[in-house]
Amino acid sequence: MKAVQVPEAHKLMIIEKKCPEIKNEFDVQVKVKRVGICGSDMHIYHGTNPLATYPRVVGHEVAGEVTAIGESVSTLKLGDHVVIEPISFCGECYACRKGRQNVCKHLSVFGVHEDGGMQEKIVLPERQVHRVNKNLEWDEIVLAEPYTIGAQAVFRGNVEAGDTVLIQGCGPIGVCILKMAKLAGAIVIMTDLDEKRLQFAEQNGADYIINAGKVSVETEVMKITESEGVNVVIDAVCLPSTFELGVQVASPAGTVVVLGFDERPASISQLLITKKELEIVGSRLQTNQFEKVITLLNEGSLTHDGLITHKFTLKDVQKAFDFIENSPDQVRKACITFD
Is the C-alpha dihedral spanning 286, 289, 291, 295 positive or negative? Answer: negative
- Are residues 210 and 232 both part of a single domain? yes
Cα 71 versus chain centre, distance: 32
Coil vs helix vs strand at 302: coil
Residues of the chain with pLDDT under 70: none
In terms of domains, do 158 and 228 share one? Answer: yes
Question: What is 77-94 written as a DSSP string?
Answer: -TT-EEEE--EE--S-SH
Q: Confirm if 335 and 35 have CB atoms less than 8 A apart.
A: yes
| 227 plus 318 within the same structural domain | no
**288 domain residue, yes or no:** no
Q: Is 115 a domain residue?
A: yes
Please tell me whether residues 202 and 277 are part of one structural domain.
yes
- The CA distances from residue 204 to 56, 57, 210, 238, in Å, are 34, 33, 15, 22
Residue 119 burial (10 A CB sphere; 0-12, 13-18, 19+): buried
Does residue 298 sit within a domain?
no
Q: How far is C-alpha 283 from the chain's CA centre?
A: 11
In the three-class reduction of DSSP (H, G, I as helix; E, B as strand; rest coil), residue 103 is classed as: helix
Residue 29 to residues 33, 36, 109, 134, Cα–Cα distance (Å): 13, 19, 18, 17
Whats the size of the chain, residue-wise? 339
Q: Is residue 239 part of a domain?
A: yes
Q: Which CATH number is 63's domain given? A: 3.90.180.10
How far CA 17 is from CA of 14, 62, 199, 268, in Å, comes to 10, 19, 43, 49
Residues 276 and 171 in one domain: yes
Task: For residue 329, tell me if it sits in a domain.
Answer: yes
- How many domains would you assign to the chain? 2
Q: Judge if 74 and 202 occupy the same domain.
A: no
Q: How far apart are CA 278 and CA 271, in angstroms?
A: 10
How many CB atoms within 10 Å of residue 202? Answer: 15
Note the pLDDT of residue 88.
Answer: 96
pLDDT of residue 262: 87
pLDDT in tens, 77-92: 999 999 999 999 999 9
**Residue 20 amino acid letter:** P
Nearest residue to 168 (alpha-carbon basis) of 238, 226, 269: 238
Among 84, 89, 71, which Cα is nearest to 131's? 84
Same domain, 138 and 12: yes
d(CA 82, CA 76): 9
CA dist., res. 119 & res. 304, Å (int): 24
Same domain, 116 and 165: no
| Amino acid symbol at 3 | A
Residue 49: the pLDDT is 86
**Residue 58 near residue 320, CB atoms below 8 Å:** no
DSSP state of 260: -
Residue 176: CATH number of its domain = 3.40.50.720
Q: Are residues 55 and 138 in the same domain?
A: yes
Are 27 and 75 in the same domain? yes
DSSP code of 334? E
Residue 84's nearest CA partner among 105, 57, 63, 114 is 63
Query: CA–CA separation, 13 vs 89, rounded Å?
Result: 29
Whether 6 and 136 share a structural domain: yes
In angstroms, the CA 49 to CA 62 distance is 20
287 occurs within a structural domain: no
Peptide bond into 55 cis (omega under 30): yes
**Could you tell me where the DSSP H helices lie in 113-203?**
138-141, 144-156, 172-183, 195-203
Nearest to 45 by CA among 2, 15, 6: 6
Domain membership of residue 178 (yes or no) is: yes
Q: 318: domain range?
A: 2-143+304-337
- Does 157 share its domain with 129? no
Domain membership of residue 292 (yes or no) is no
Kindly report the pTM of this predicted structure: 0.96
